[in-house]
Amino acid sequence: MRFGQEPAEGRAGTDVEAVRNGFVSITPLHLDLTAYEVRDRLAKALA
């Protein structure tokens, strides 16, 4: 159970299915909040 709810269904190809079958599930995270357009315009204006 999770937070008082029924367990989630383990549909094929999901993290839940992998964990229920004894595998480790890894989710790649990438957090890049750079505003590349603004950065490039600013660099050009200051050059």
Q: Per residue in 5-35, pLDDT tens?
A: 676 666 888 888 888 889 998 888 888 888 9
Tracing tokens 């790649």 back to the chain, one arrives at: 28
pLDDT of residue 46: 94
**Has residue 42 got a pLDDT over 90?**
yes
CB 5 within 8 A of CB 11: no
Cα gap 17→25, rounded to integer Å = 9
- The pTM for the full model equals 0.41
Rg from Cα positions in the chain = 21
CB 25 within 8 A of CB 18: yes
pLDDT of residue 36: 93
